[in-house]
C-alpha cells in the first residue's frame, strides 16, 4: 500500500512510529504522515484527539470483564443462608487511563480493589474511585522529584524499586485477580510480575496482561494466548483489547481523527470571507509538529 502513495498525500493514524519500518518509504514518497500516538497529552485543546485515552478507557473496562469470565468465582460478596462468599481481591498495576477505568469497573462489580503506580500523585485518583493505594515509602528527595515531574520522568532509587517490588509481590501473591496496564511507547513493556511471585498465587487466580503485545508485564505471558501454570494460575495475554469492543472503539477513534483533521483545515487566506477551505500544514503548530513523523521527504521522528 505504501508504494501506491504519491507526493503530497497525507496519512493519519496509529502508526506505531517507534517500531514502524515504513517511515523511510513514507518519506521517500513525499508523504506527510501523522502518528496519533505522539499527541501531546498535556494540551487541553488536544484532549478530544487523544486516541490512546479513548482506546485505553475501553480496554480497562473490558479487561475486568475478561477477568470476571476467567475467574471461576463471583466478584461481589454474597450473604446466603449457606454461608458468606467473600469478594474477589483485585490488584491493578499501572494507574493510567486504562487502570483507572479498570478500578471503577471492578468496584462496580463488587470486588475489593488495590492499585499501585510509580506516580505518587495517582493515589488520590485511586482512592476517589474506592480503591486502596499500595503505598511505597519514599524519601523526601524522591517525593520532590516525583512531584516536580508529575511522576512520569523521575528515576526512583534502587531502595525504592526494591521496596516497591516487595509490596507488589506480597499483594499479588494474595490476590485473586491481577490486571497489569504498564506500557511505554516505543519500548518493551516493563516486567512487573515474575515467576517467583506467580508461584505463590492460589490456584484459580487470574492475571490479565494488557501489555502482552509489547513484551508483557507478566513473565510467561504470550499475546492472544491463555496459559495455565503448574500451580493453576491463568495468565491471559490480552492483546488489542479495544478490538473486542469494535463498534464503540471505532466510533471513538473516528471522532479523534476528525478532531485532528479539522486542525489541518483553514479558510483560504485569499478569500477569508467566503466558505473556502484548504489544507494548511504547519510544522510549527504544537500539535501538527508533534504528530508529523514524515514531511517534505524527511523522517522527523526523534530517536528513542
Give which of 215, 208, 128, 220 is closest to 172, Cα–Cα: 208
Task: Annotate 172-241 with DSSP letters as a single string.
Answer: HHT-SEEEE----TTSPPP--B-HHHHTTSPTT-EEEETTGGGT-SBTT--TT-EEE-TTS-EEEE---G
Phi, psi of 249, deg, nearest 5: -65, -35
User: Which grid cell sits at 159?
Assistant: 531502595
Residue 53 falls in the annotated catalytic set: yes
- Residue 73 has what DSSP assignment? S
Cβ-count burial of 206 within 10 angstroms (0-12 exposed, 13-18 middle, 19+ buried)?
Answer: buried
- Residue 11 has what DSSP assignment? E
- Among residues 152, 230, 270, 304, the one annotated as catalytic is 152
Residue 144 falls in the annotated catalytic set: no
Residue 41 falls in the annotated catalytic set: yes
Cβ-count burial of 270 within 10 angstroms (0-12 exposed, 13-18 middle, 19+ buried)?
Answer: exposed
Provide the edge-to-edge strand list for the sheet that holds 292-295.
10-13, 32-35, 292-295, 298-299
- Among residues 9, 24, 45, 47, the one annotated as catalytic is 47
- Residue 245 has what DSSP assignment? G
Residues 6 or more apart whose CB falls under 8 angstroms from that of 303 comprise: none
- Residue 21 has what DSSP assignment? T
Residue 140 falls in the annotated catalytic set: no
- Among residues 9, 19, 24, 41, the one annotated as catalytic is 41
Which residues are catalytic, by number? 41, 47, 50, 53, 152
Amino acid at each position: 500500500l505504501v508504494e501506491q502513495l504519491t507526493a503530497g498525500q497525507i496519512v493519519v493514524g496509529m502508526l506505531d512510529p517507534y517500531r514502524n519500518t515504513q517511515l523511510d518509504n513514507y518519506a521517500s514518497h513525499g508523504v506527510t504522515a501523522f502518528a496519533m500516538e505522539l499527541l501531546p497529552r498535556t494540551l487541553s485543546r488536544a484532549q478530544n484527539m487523544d486516541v490512546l485515552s479513548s482506546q485505553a478507557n475501553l480496554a480497562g473496562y473490558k479487561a475486568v470483564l475478561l477477568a470476571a469470565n476467567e475467574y471461576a468465582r463471583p466478584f461481589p460478596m454474597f450473604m446466603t443462608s449457606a454461608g458468606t462468599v467473600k469478594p474477589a481481591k483485585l490488584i491493578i498495576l499501572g494507574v493510567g487511563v486504562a487502570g483507572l477505568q479498570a478500578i471503577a469497573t471492578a468496584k462496580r462489580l463488587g470486588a475489593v480493589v488495590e492499585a499501585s503506580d510509580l506516580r505518587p500523585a495517582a493515589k488520590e485518583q485511586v482512592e476517589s474511585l474506592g480503591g486502596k493505594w499500595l503505598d511505597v515509602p519514599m524519601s523526601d528527595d524522591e517525593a520532590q522529584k516525583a512531584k516536580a515531574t508529575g511522576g512520569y520522568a523521575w528515576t526512583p532509587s534502587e531502595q525504592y524499586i526494591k521496596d516497591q517490588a516487595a509490596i507488589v509481590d506480597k499483594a499479588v501473591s494474595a490476590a485473586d485477580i491481577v490486571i497489569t496496564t504498564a506500557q511505554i511507547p516505543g519500548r518493551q513493556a516493563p516486567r512487573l510480575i515474575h515467576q517467583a511471585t506467580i508461584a505463590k498465587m492460589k490456584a484459580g487466580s487470574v492475571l490479565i496482561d494488557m501489555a502482552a503485545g509489547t513484551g508483557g508485564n507478566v513473565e510467561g505471558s504470550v499475546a492472544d494466548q491463555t496459559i495455565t501454570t503448574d500451580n493453576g494460575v491463568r495468565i491471559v495475554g490480552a492483546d488489542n483489547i479495544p478490538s473486542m469492543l469494535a463498534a464503540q472503539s471505532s466510533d471513538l477513534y473516528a471522532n479523534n481523527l476528525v478532531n485532528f483533521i479539522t486542525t489541518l483545515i483553514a479558510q483560504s487566506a485569499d478569500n477569508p470571507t467566503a466558505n473556502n477551505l484548504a489544507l494548511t500544514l504547519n510544522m510549527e503548530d504544537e500539535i501538527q509538529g508533534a504528530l508529523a513523523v514524515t514531511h517534505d521527504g524527511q523522517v522527523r521522528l526523534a530517536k528513542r
